[in-house]
Structure 1
Amino acid sequence: MKKTNKIIDNAARELPVSPANAKPVDTAVKVGSFRWRICALLFFATTINYIDRQVLGILAPQLQSEMNWTEVQYGYIITAFQFAYALGFLIMGNIMDRFGARKGFSFAVVLWSFAAMLHAAASSALTFGFARFGLGIGEAGNFPAAIKTVSEWFPKKERSLAIGIFNSGANIGAIVAPLAVPFIALRFGWEWAFIITGALGFIWLAFWLATYKKPEDHPKITKAELDFIQSDSEEPVERIPWLKLFPHRQTWAFALAKFMTDPIWWFYLYWLPKYLNTSHGLTLDKIGLPLVAIYVLSDLGSVAGGWLSSFLINKGWSVNSARKTTMLICALAVLPIFFTSQTANLWIAVGLISLATAAHQGWSANLFTLVSDMFPKNAVGSVVGIGGMCGAVGGMLIATATGYLLDKTESYVPLFIISSVSYLLALLLIQVLAPKLKPMRPQ
């Protein structure tokens, strides 16, 4: 009996300190794992999301040659997506908080999948721009829905890991796309690359509708797992209109960090194939392996970044220290990206880019988790929407600027310099605006 009590006491010490209203968890009962099935659905949604947006970047050299796009026109096509993505984040974030993740996510996936398939009918820079606009509106729903779902299905001690896992789907999508898209395009034509990848969203939707409910309403979740999920739940509050979130420093800490670092990821996503083509001579049939190497390591970075802060919290670190220490490590790991523009060796460049993209994904997993750390669950979708909008605006600006810069100078040096320092500056802003990651207090 003494031995049993000792085991229970040790297990209890591993749990985070809960607020006064927290529900007790019987640590002698095995906690279930159904929540990880929900995480798997989020992972596959994010994978499909990134496959759909990556298709254009992979086909860009071929399409630019066939349709005589200039660098500026290609920049405008990307800007159309970014503008819609920014607008879509505000719309979709509000939809997720108003209608819930089940309905909201379903709507977003249908919209972006249809828009992805619509690219096959495009025949000019203008019509591609319209298709990208529709894709941007729909794809903006993925992260507000996914972060909201994690805040509902996971306690704080597991959220960064869950976000890191589903966020790694972005890299899996970026791995699958350079393997599948050239194969489809070279054998069946580029139009079928858009049609086949776009159809994946409708397959995912069937699984989502068959599986997802809120944890308190789900028939397959055990009481022990539900108690564990709700072990640090906050006091319920009324839904907060997104306009009332703007005055809070916590909102701006997240939003400005997204504005400064999301554009770097967009630069990687849309210009890496072109960089590898122009700087290292890689054609469509040879570009797959370097891109796969880059995004495999990015995948590891996403999971490792999410795991590290959760690990530190379980070791007794405060949420504030664990999140920011992990983000600092990631920011420092991005710095060497500057030397990419100085090397003529393909695999040295791939290694430096891989380190930077892995660090970005680890950073992103923790940055998203800050929202669930600082805001009540029924405001998470809106805050992620606001931050995503700012990140997309930054991506829109860098897309247009990159197009003009490369058209005039054909040099990637300034872009890699900006990429190397943005994360440290963003972390400094987070520290100034949210020094202790205090929860927002609704007025």
Structure 2
Amino acid sequence: MGNRSQATRKRYNILTMIFVTVVINYLDRTNISIAASAIQKDLGINSIQMGYVFSAFAWTYACLQIPGGIVADKIKSRVLYTFIMAFWSIATLIQGFANSFITLIGLRASIGVFEAPSYPINNLIVTRWFPEKERASAIGIYTSGQFLGMAFLLPVLAIIQNYLGWRGLFFVSGAIGILWAGIWYYFYRDPQEHKYVSDTELEHIKSGGGLVDIKEKAEKKMDFKWSDIKQVFLYRKLWGLYIGQFCLGATIVFFLTWFPTYLVKYRGLDFLQSGFLASIPYLAAFAGVLLSGFTSDYLTRKGYSVEMSRKAPIIIGMLLSTCIIGANYTNSTFFIIFFLALAFFGNGLASIAWVFISLMAPKKLIGLTGGAFNFIGGLAGIVVPIVIGYLVEDGDFGPALFFIGGIALLGFISYTFIVGKVERIIIKE
């Protein structure tokens, strides 16, 4: 055992591990977007079919969010994350052998199955390891993994595909995830099972609202009833969060699926050049999510209301996301990337939305509420790629960008008028 009385900051080691896991999670979601043009050419897949391939991941990912939240509440994060990460990585690797539209659909759907519990697990880990006043920053940091990781990985993935082909791209991506699954199992522990976390740090976390007492939590988990699923859909406030997450997801889904194809096929950019230019909006989103998380926690520490400190960045971010429409009114590569980067920066600002699950969900249903939250958000992954596939069939991407901008506006309305006052929902027994 480590020295329990000596002050430690092990929660930041845990946060680093979540960050890396999120990077790998999104690597395996988005490598298909880099490979899309080559896959369409090699396998003879049209735009509408590609929309269904992009969407297939979300069919299972969204539908399994609520079961994923239940599983996240019941199985230790160390074991569950290792299992799902290994299997989604294996499915990613097998994509390198795909030879048909149907095979791609099946493999993308299988990745969605195994990634489904990942964000409920992330939220539970942060809820266990961080006091409330540090939680938005922690969520901002690990959420930024999806943006920073892709900002640097998109050019790398483009280079890998350039040399190894799209099949090699999947082989490399899958191998990385399998390796990290082993590392996660070896190093991760919950707070009270961690050998080297001090009593001082545990008390800091617990006194600040962190749920470090996993024995107590385990007892609560045994109280699960099927009626709990009804509970997480009863409240207007939660529906405001769910709708907002769908709208937030719509912009992210565009960037995770059609964005590289938009640059190469509809804007005529060179493939390798598009890999580097595509990283710019991801860097903007990374800056947005970090600015949002740290500013939100700073305002909380200074005594500002939860509505100001937590909700304002999301409302502003949703409004900025509507700027994606501006790309329809220019042929300049600089301004196309500018408008897309501004929109994705706004999406980054709004991406701390998970903090509301920690603050508003019924205490014994945090995992389940997180599953419902991500389920509705995941529906964007089903709807948006397919709708875009149909909208761009005639070669014009303009209507697709209007579609994305309109959904972002709906997100602004939902957080402003439906969520209302930010407060914990108490279930009456």
TM-score, length-scaled by structure 2: 0.91
2:57 maps to 81
Q: 1:317, CA displacement in angstroms?
A: 0.7
Structure 1 residues 377 and 199, CA gap change in structure 2 (3 angstroms): farther
Once the two structures are TM-superposed, the CA of residue 403 in structure 1 deviates from its matched residue by: 0.8
Unaligned runs of 5+ in 1: 1-28
- Closer/same/farther in 2, CA of residues 377 and 184 from structure 1, 3 Å limit: farther
Which of 418, 425, 429 is residue 440 of structure 1 equivalent to? 425
- AA of the residue aligned to 2:414: L
Following TM superposition, by how much is the alpha carbon of 1:249 offset from its aligned partner in structure 2, in angstroms?
Answer: 3.0
1:64-98 deviation per Cα after TM superposition (whole angstroms, max 9, x unaligned): 11211111100111221111111232222111011
| Cα distance, 1:394 vs structure 2 | 2.4
Q: CA deviation at 1:404?
A: 1.0
Which letter does structure 1 place at the counterpart of 2:283?
V
What amino acid sits opposite 1:352 in the alignment? Answer: F
**Contact kept in structure 1, 2:319 and 2:412, CA below 8 Å:** no
Give 2:186's aligned amino acid. A
**What is aligned with 2:399?**
414
Q: Does 1:232 align with 2:225?
A: no
Distance 1:252 1:389 in 2: 12
TM-score (norm 1): 0.88
The answer to whether 1:302 aligns with 2:289 is yes
Q: Counterparts of 1:74 and 1:105 in 2: how far apart (Å)?
A: 30
How far the C-alpha of 1:185 sits from its partner, in A, is: 2.1
Of residues 48-57 and 258-267 in structure 1, the stretch that sits farther from structure 2 once superposed is 258-267
Q: Out of 338, 342, 347, which is 1:360 matched to? A: 347
Structure 1 position 404 matched with structure 2 position 380 = no
Change (3 A) 1:379 1:390: same
Q: Displacement of 1:151 after TM fit?
A: 0.7
Pair 1:429–1:188, CA change in 2 (3 A): closer
TM-superposed CA distance for 1:260, in Å, is: 2.3
1:89–1:137: 8 Å Cα contact kept in structure 2? no
Offset of residue 31 of structure 1:
5.5
1:430 counterpart (410, 415, 423): 415
Report the equivalent of 1:138: 114
- Give the deviation of 1:30 after TM superposition: 9.0
Superimposed CA distance per residue, residues 199-240 of structure 1 (whole angstroms, 9 cap, x where no aligned partner): 112222222222222212222111111111112338967234
Change (3 A) 1:428 1:186: closer
Tell me the residue number matched to 2:326. 339
Deviation at 1:248, TM superposition (A): 2.8
Residues 38, 376 of structure 1: alpha-carbon distance in 2 compared, 3 angstrom cutoff: farther
SS at match of 2:245: helix
SS of equivalent residue, structure 1 residue 286: helix
**Alignment partner, residue 357 of structure 2:** 371
Number of residue pairs matched?
413
Cα distance in 2 for residues equivalent to 1:381 and 1:107: 18
Pick which of 71-80 and 368-377 moved more.
368-377
Matches within 5 A, 1:248-397: 248-365=235-352, 367-376=353-362, 378-397=364-383
Unpaired runs of 5+ in structure 2?
A: none
Deviates further, 299-308 or 275-284? 275-284
The answer to whether the Cα contact below 8 Å between 1:172 and 1:296 also exists between their aligned partners in 2 is yes
Q: Distance in 1 between matches of 2:413 and 2:267?
A: 35
Shift in CA distance, 377/207, structure 1 to aligned 2, threshold 3 Å? farther
Q: Which residue pairs with 1:171 in the alignment?
A: 147
2:102 to 103, 122, 126: 126
Contact 1:375 1:440 in 2 (8 A): yes
SS of the aligned residue for 2:258 comes to helix
Q: Deviations over 1:267-318 (max 9, x none)?
A: 1211111110123212322222101222122211111111111111011112
Q: Post-superposition shift, 1:377?
A: 5.2
d(CA) in 2 for partners of 1:417 and 1:189? 33
* Match 1:157 to one of 106, 112, 133: 133
Percent identity of paired positions between Structure 1 and Structure 2: 26
Distance in 2 separating the partners of 1:441 and 1:31: 35
Whole-Å separation in 1 of the counterparts to 2:344 and 2:374: 18
Equivalent position amino acid for 1:411 in 2:
D
Whole-angstrom distance in 2 between the partners of 1:111 and 1:374: 32
> Quick one: which amino acid aligns to residue 356 of structure 1?
A
Moved more, 237-246 or 103-112: 237-246
Give the AA of the match of 2:41: S
Mapped to 1, the partners of 2:166 and 2:113 lie a distance apart of 23
Maintained 8 Å contact 2:241/2:414: no
- Cα deviation, 1:304-354, whole Å, max 9, x if unaligned, reads 111111111011112232111111221232232211111101121111111
Q: Which residue matches 2:39?
A: 63
Query: Once the 2 structures are TM-superposed, how far is the Cα of residue 169 of structure 1 from its aligned partner?
Result: 0.7
